[in-house]
């Protein structure tokens, strides 16, 4: 078992008996994880980095972003909504999904191993899949859970979303048959979810909703949550902003040590500390823990904030150097389907899409396709109107999507409108 996460004895037995051999033989192993994402804060970057390492071990990742939690979060409302303009919160969250995809791409995760969904869309599918009564079964489990049984101070929304996660994990193959052929094998989670996840899985097994206690839980080490005025340190903040949050939150020495051990140790080539004379001194991994123990708590907080700032910006540097990964258009309405149908049945439009790789102008595409510039411009205009290509400031035409995905049962209304 990797040192970044652990299993309870029962799950570890299943992991060693079933999961590890499949990974070793390079069989497909599906992993589920969910989290709230508004900005690339240090906790999200830690989770994404752990998931990226698991992808390199051979896992196929199925990630659900709790977009409903994101858009109702106070930080979202106060810091982000004013910048949306005419953009809807849903469109904003679509961009956030793309941002997460790009972070994974910057960490060399193959896009074929990565599936990211908004929780609101997964909920919609679960409610609409009538043949299996999944929503009714979830409601039944919710009636069996008692709030007083959970010691952590969870929000009521979390007490609904977390049990739903276990349903998503067990029935993804029914909700998204275009992506998954069977239930999730493994779930990666923090210890804040452990108690509810375990209770939900046990109840589902006891009630006969699932025939085996799956998925296997990989539990990450506890990462202290540093927050001030609903703000969490993230990579778009200045060093001063990060330090302000640490000074306002006043983490304990135990939390400072935990953040160094779990997040920063072995992650940066060099570390720095803030000495009692006001100097920032470079040191190495082997010395930093000994040094910070001897510093006043104010210097410890600055030292942690400074190194965490460097840590987050190491991710940002990779992100800015990485192009957006290939994108898949998920058809959600009958109107979209009809629009795509017009493109697919038109040989010239399909040819234009093939040539629109971001390196060619309209005139270059016209030359390669042996068509007049006026006709090529008209074709490209139609594709742009349909949202299938973009044209940059240099006139280069690029596909907005590289593939199309459709689920006729869950997405398309037979009566001319999308759900």
Give dist(CA 352, CA 360) in Å, integer.
11
Evaluate if residue 86 carries a pLDDT over 60: no
Q: Which pLDDT does position 11 carry in this prediction?
A: 93
Per-residue confidence (pLDDT) for residue 84, from 0 to 100: 53
Planar angle of CA 190, 193, 194, nearest 5 degrees: 85
pLDDT of residue 412: 54
When pLDDT is cut at 50, 70 and 90, the band that residue 318 belongs to is: very high
Nearest to 159 by CA among 127, 125, 193, 135: 193
Full-prediction pTM beyond 0.95?
no
* pLDDT given at position 364: 93
Q: What is the mean pLDDT of residues 283-287?
A: 81
Report whether pLDDT(418) > 90.
Answer: no
Task: Grade residue 233 by pLDDT with cuts at 50, 70 and 90.
Answer: very high
Question: N- to C-terminal Cα distance for the chain?
Answer: 44
pLDDT at 85 over 70: no
Contacts within 8 Å (CB) and 24+ apart, 248-254: 250/301, 251/224, 251/226, 251/301, 251/304, 253/293, 253/297, 253/300
Mean pLDDT of 375-388: 87
What local confidence, expressed as pLDDT, does residue 382 receive? Answer: 85
The answer on pLDDT for 415 being more than 50 is no
- C-alpha to C-alpha distance for 400 and 389, rounded to whole angstroms: 5
Question: Which domains occur in the chain, in start order?
Answer: 5-220 (3.40.50.620), 239-316 (no CATH), 328-405 (1.10.10.10)
pLDDT digits 0-9 by tens, 324-340 = 766 777 777 777 788 78
- The pLDDT, as a whole number, for residue 411 is 55
pLDDT for 72? 79
User: pLDDT per residue over 250-264, tens digit each?
Assistant: 999 899 989 988 898
- Cβ-Cβ contacts under 8 Å for 177 (sequence gap 6 or more): 407
**Which position has the higher pLDDT, 155 or 218?**
218
């Amino acid at each position: 078992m990797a040192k970044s996460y652990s299993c309870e004895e029962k799950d570890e037995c299943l992991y060693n008996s079933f999961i590890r051999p499949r990974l070793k033989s390079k069989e497909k192993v599906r992993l589920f994880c969910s989290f709230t994402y508004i900005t690339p804060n240090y906790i999200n970057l830690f989770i994404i980095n752990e998931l990226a390492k698991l992808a390199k071990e051979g896992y196929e990742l199925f990630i659900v972003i709790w977009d409903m939690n994101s858009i109702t979060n106070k930080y979202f409302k106060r810091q982000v909504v004013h910048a949306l303009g005419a953009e809807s919160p849903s469109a904003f969250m679509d961009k956030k999904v793309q941002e997460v995809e790009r972070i994974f791409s910057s960490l060399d995760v193959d896009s074929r191993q990565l599936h990211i969904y908004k929780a609101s869309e997964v909920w919609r599918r679960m409610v609409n899949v009538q043949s299996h009564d999944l929503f009714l079964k979830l409601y039944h489990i919710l009636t069996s859970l008692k709030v007083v049984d959970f010691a952590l101070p969870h929000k009521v929304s979390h007490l609904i979303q977390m049990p739903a996660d276990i349903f998503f994990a067990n029935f993804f193959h029914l909700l998204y048959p275009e992506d998954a052929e069977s239930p999730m094998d493994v779930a990666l989670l923090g210890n804040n979810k452990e108690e509810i996840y375990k209770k939900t899985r046990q109840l589902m097994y006891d009630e006969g909703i699932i025939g085996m206690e799956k998925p296997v839980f990989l539990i990450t080490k506890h990462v202290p949550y540093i927050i001030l005025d609903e703000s969490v340190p993230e990579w778009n903040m200045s060093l001063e902003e990060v330090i302000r949050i640490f000074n306002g939150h006043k983490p304990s020495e135990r939390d400072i040590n935990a953040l160094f051990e779990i997040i920063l140790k072995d992650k940066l080539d060099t570390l720095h500390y803030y000495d009692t004379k006001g100097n920032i001194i470079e040191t190495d991994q082997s010395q930093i823990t000994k040094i910070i123990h001897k510093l006043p708590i104010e210097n410890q907080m600055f030292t942690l904030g400074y190194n965490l700032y460097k840590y987050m910006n190491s991710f940002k540097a990779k992100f800015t150097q990485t192009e957006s990964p290939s994108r898949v258009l998920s058809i959600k309405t009958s109107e979209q389907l009809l629009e795509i149908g017009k493109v697919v049945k038109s040989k010239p439009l399909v040819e234009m899409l093939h040539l629109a790789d971001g390196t060619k102008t309209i005139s270059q595409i016209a030359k390669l396709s042996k068509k007049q510039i006026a006709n090529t411009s008209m074709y490209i205009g139609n594709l742009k109107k349909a949202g299938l290509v973009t044209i940059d400031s240099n006139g280069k035409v690029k596909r907005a999507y590289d593939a199309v995905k459709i689920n006729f049962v869950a997405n398309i209304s037979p009566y001319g409108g999308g759900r």
